Copies of this chain bind each other. A is one copy, B any other.
Amino acid sequence: MLGACIENVRKNVPLVHNITNYVTVNDVANVLLACGGSPIMSDEPEDVEDITSICGGLNINIGTLNQSSIKGMFLAGKKANELGHKTLLDPVGAGASKLRTETAVKLMEEIRFDVIRGNISEIKTLALGSGTTKGVDADVADAVTEDSLEAAVKFVKDFSKKSGSIVAITGAIDLVSDGEKCYVIRNGRPEMGKITGTGCQLSGMLTAFIVANPDNMLEAAAAAVCTMGLAGEIGWKNMQPSDGNSTYRNRIIDAIYNMDGKTLEEGAKYEVL
């Protein structure tokens, strides 16, 4: 029941530590509040261990990484692992620069992530670059479409199995797999790509969902992905003729704020393969 997953977030108000980029950080914070969670941001190496200790989950996003925040990511990740906290990696731009690829791969090697979320190109970069995922066939198309779906599902299952993480690949069609099952999700609107940071927002929210649903993480991850896509659909319905991407951003977060279990249950469009 996906609906129960968001209700659990609202009930438990999970505190999520975010080491995230400065581009979309304000939206990440507001989305976490909208879905019922609570955000804290901290990237200073000397600060992150204390901060992550009082949280239930850690969201690491490498979107505007720097030498200091990279240190913070490793320290926070190890502490979160030690404490058994939920962890998520968002490898923004992996494949676009050596530093990003290497940082993402090294994070995967040294920290156990409950969930990895990215677009198909970022996840393929991790599959190719990470020693732990050797042997995964990353020869899938650069967009998940109905045509490439079968290969993409096989890829995400394989990579999830090898990495030991739930893997969420988001795009026109979203895939969420724990290696055995794969949620194929068809919520969302193409116009969401014209807003900066819907992916980063989802990663923050997804972390809250797995913290609040620890015994049901695959379904919780799928519920978060459906919530984001459905909010994109609801937000779009509320658009007026002169509205554009800036107002759309607000309407999506507003739709998450107003989302309840019943709305999510009825609006989620997915199959499990």
Contacts and interface: CB of A to CB of B under 8 A. Distances in A.
- Interface size on A, as a range, is 35 or more
Interface string A233-266: 0100010001111110111111111100000000
Contacts of A98: 50
B40 A93 contact: yes
B257 A194 contact: yes
B195 A50 contact: no
Contact of A244 (B93, B195, B242, B253): B253
Number of copies of this chain in the oligomer?
Answer: 3
Contact of A67 (B46, B194, B238): B46
A190 to B, nearest CB: 13
A65 B251 CA distance: 31
Contact of A30 (B40, B41, B195): B195
Contacts of A30: 195-196, 245-246, 249
Contacts of A24: 26, 29
Contacts of A251: 242, 246-247
Interface in A47-93: 47, 50-51, 54, 63-68, 93
A202 to B, nearest CB: 15
A1 interface: no
A100 to B, nearest CB: 7
Given A64-B43, A245-B257, A257-B246, A23 B21 contact: no
Nearest to A102: B46
The 4 closest A-B pairs by CB, nearest first: A244-B257, A244-B254, A50-B97, A246-B253
16 contacts: A24-B26, A24-B29, A26-B27, A26-B196, A30-B196, A33-B194, A34-B246, A39-B196, A41-B64, A46-B99, A50-B100, A194-B257, A244-B255, A244-B257, A245-B253, A250-B250
Interface of A: 21-27, 29-30, 33-34, 39-44, 46-47, 50-51, 54, 63-68, 93, 96-100, 194-197, 234, 238, 242-247, 249-258
Given A23-B39, A39-B196, A245-B254, 5 more contacts: A34-B245, A50-B96, A51-B97, A246-B253, A247-B254
